[in-house]
Structure 1
Amino acid sequence: MDYFLHVLYGLLIAYLAMISPGMLNMTALKVRIDFGKNESEKFALGAAVTILIQAGVSLFFADYFVSNPKIITVLEKAGVFVFFSLAIFFYILSRNKVDPKAKSGKGNFFVKGFMMSALNMLSIPFYLASSIFLASKGYIVIEQPYILFFVFGVFVGSLLLFGTYIYFANIISTKVSFIAKNINLILCGVFIVLGIITIVRLFP
């Protein structure tokens, strides 16, 4: 039962953390609209694998990160540059007339999902803080084999969240045309917000 609860907590943390529109889920939705279900599932799997690794790193090295907060600060500073760079990139895309059915530049969406998820510098500090909070309340244990079950739950929760966005992508594209037509501009806004949040965290 303890193992199951660790999976459940990991699942809930991952799902609820990304349920609102954000970098990865909105990109998964964009891939679904532009290239189809199969490619969006590859993107989701790649992104979820990275999240699994990030959550694992957070818990495996929890004591080290707590003792060396400068590492987290360096990651967050790098994240500011990445987020604003991506905001500019998607703003430029939003100004161009692009055929959403075009297959050029399709590439490997598993790799794209993996790499884009790796750019999210907030993921490691988030799972570090979440796991420490849950452990302080006695909900989880930060030691093996409990860490593996919690991280597996994070992986499953991430896939379920991406699946939710992918499954409802057609409804969004047909019923909410504004989002479908302005997905690049929306992603630009998301990255700007993430960059601002990171700056606020760095300079409270």
Structure 2
Amino acid sequence: MAKIIDSINKIVTLSPEEELLFLSKTEIKQYKAKTILVNAGEISKYSYFVNSGLLRSFNINDDIVEHVLSFACEGWWIGDIYSLISKKPGNLFIEVLEDAEVVLLTRESQNELFTEIPKLERFFRILTENSLVANQERLMDNLSLTAEERFDKFCKRYPTIIQRVPQKQIASYIGVTPEFFSKMKSRLLKNNN
């Protein structure tokens, strides 16, 4: 549990009592690769903090094409925030890509913690702001950058993920087909030699 406490303490400092209270409101689970934690159409019950392993969120459109929204590795949070906050069925799947140890936090427990440890509201506000900034930047990148530039940014931004994720999921994340991605990667490798 040290990872999640370390993550929080980078932004706000919890006393030992507050750490224990926070941990008492969470649950740790182990999941095997390929486990689906959340299905589209379900109401999401948890935010997930990744202690170890790798997760992704994605949706599937009417043409049965996957669109990867995000990845989460050690020390990152992931969830269907729309569903969690609105308590309505979401449109995301959350899948375990590598065997993982995950900390689960319900929305109800989170709200209780906001009352009992007010500085946690600041922590989660900052997480949310960082997420909004990253999503806006990604949207602008998708509108203004070429596929090669988006891939280059992905490699620089997520160097620890690039070798752990199938190429078709990276292609989906940067918004291209697997076929285009394969050709683009071959072209980039040829140009770098």
Structure with the higher strand share, 1 or 2: 2
Please give the TM-score of this superposition, normalised by the length of structure 1: 0.29
Structure with the higher helix share, 1 or 2: 1
Please give the TM-score of this superposition, normalised by the length of structure 2: 0.30
Higher relative contact order (CA 8 A, sep 6+): 1
